[in-house]
Amino acid sequence: MKNSWMSLLALVFSTIALIITFLRIDVTITHESFIAIIASFVGAACTIIVGSQIYNSIETKRVINLLESKNNSLGKSINDSNIKLYSIEKDVRDLHKKMEESNLKIEDLYSICYYIEAYTKEKEYLLAGFEHYVKAIDKALIANSINYAKYYSMTLSWSIRDGIMYIIESKYEKIGLNSSSEFIIDKIMQSVQLRDNYSLIKKEFDEVVQLWSEFKDKLYKNTKRVGLNDLRDNH
C-alpha cells in the first residue's frame, strides 16, 4: 500500500514537470516558496506514512482476528475429535463386554448340554455319564455359573455312589468299563480345581473327588479279583 502511494505521488510530480516543460511555464522559486514546497512535500510524506501505519494496524488486527478464529475453529475440531474418539472407545468397550457376555452364555449352554448328555448316558454306562458331568461342571465354572456347578457336583456325587453300589453288587455291565474315560475324568477334575472361582464350589467338589477316588479303588480291586481287567479297554 505504501509503495502504491509513492508511485502515485511520483506520477503526479512527473506530470506536473512535463506540463511545465512543454508549456514553458516560467516558475520563479523564491526562498519562501521553496520552503513552502518542501513543507508540502514533508506534510504529504507524513500523511502517507501515518496513513500507511494506520492501514497496517488495521490489516494486522484483521489478520490476528482471522488467526484467532482459525485457532478457535481448530480447537473446536480437536475437541470434537476427542469426543468422537472417546465415543468410539466406549463403543469398543461395550462391544467387548457384550462379546464376553455372549461367550459366557455359550459356556452356560455347553454346561447344560453336557449335563443332559450325562444324565442320558449314565442310564447305559455310568463312566460315560461321569465324564460328561465333570465337563458340565468345568463349563459352568468358566461361565461363572456357580449354582449350576454346585448342582452338577451334587448330582455327580449321587451318581458315583450308585456306581459304588454297582461294584459291590458286581453289576459291571452298568458301569461301562473304560480306562480312557477314567483318564479324561481325572484330567478334567484337575482342570476344575485350577479354575479361579473353584473355591466357591470346593465343598461340593471335594466330595466328588473323594467319592471318585473310592470308586476307582473299589473298581480296580474288584475287577482284578474277578478277572475283568481286560474288559476295561473294550468299552
Q: Calculate the dihedral angle through the C-alpha atoms of 28, 32, 33, 35, rounding to the nearest 10 degrees.
A: 130
pTM, full prediction = 0.54
User: Which pLDDT belongs to residue 230?
Assistant: 44
CA 153 to chain CA centroid, nearest Å: 36
Q: Which three cell numbers stand for residue 89?
A: 472407545
Residues 113 and 207 in one domain: yes
Q: Is residue 88 part of a domain?
A: no
Please report, for residues 51, 77, 130, 227, the alpha-carbon distance to residue 80 in angstroms, rounded to integers and kept in the order given: 43, 5, 59, 80
User: Which pLDDT belongs to residue 9?
Assistant: 61
Host H or E run for residue 109: helix 31-121
Residues 125 and 31 in one domain: no
Q: Which three cell numbers stand for residue 59?
A: 490489516
Q: Is residue 183 part of a domain?
A: yes
Q: Is residue 86 part of a domain?
A: no
Q: Is residue 95 part of a domain?
A: no
Q: Is residue 89 part of a domain?
A: no
Q: How many domains does the chain have?
A: 2
Q: Are 212 and 160 in contact (CB under 8 A)?
A: yes
Q: Is residue 91 part of a domain?
A: no
pLDDT tens string 189-227: 999 999 999 999 999 999 999 999 998 888 887 765 444
Residue at grid coordinates 468299552: 235
Residues 130 and 203 in one domain: yes
pLDDT tens string 47-75: 767 677 777 777 777 777 777 777 777 76
Residues 110 and 224 in one domain: yes
Q: Are 137 and 192 in contact (CB under 8 A)?
A: yes
User: Which pLDDT belongs to residue 206?
Assistant: 94
Residues 118 and 165 in one domain: yes
Residues 122 and 181 in one domain: yes
Q: Is residue 126 part of a domain?
A: yes
Domain boundary among 73, 89, 116: 73
Q: Are 216 and 162 in contact (CB under 8 A)?
A: no
Residues 108 and 69 in one domain: no
Residues 108 and 174 in one domain: yes
Question: Which residues of the chain fall below pLDDT 50?
Answer: 1-2, 99, 225-235
CA 114 to chain CA centroid, nearest Å: 32
CA pair distance 195, 142, nearest whole angstrom: 8
CA pair distance 197, 104, nearest whole angstrom: 14
Tell me which residue range forms the domain holding 174.
102-233
Q: Is residue 24 part of a domain?
A: yes
Rg (Cα) of the chain, in Å, rounded?
50
User: Which pLDDT belongs to residue 194?
Assistant: 94
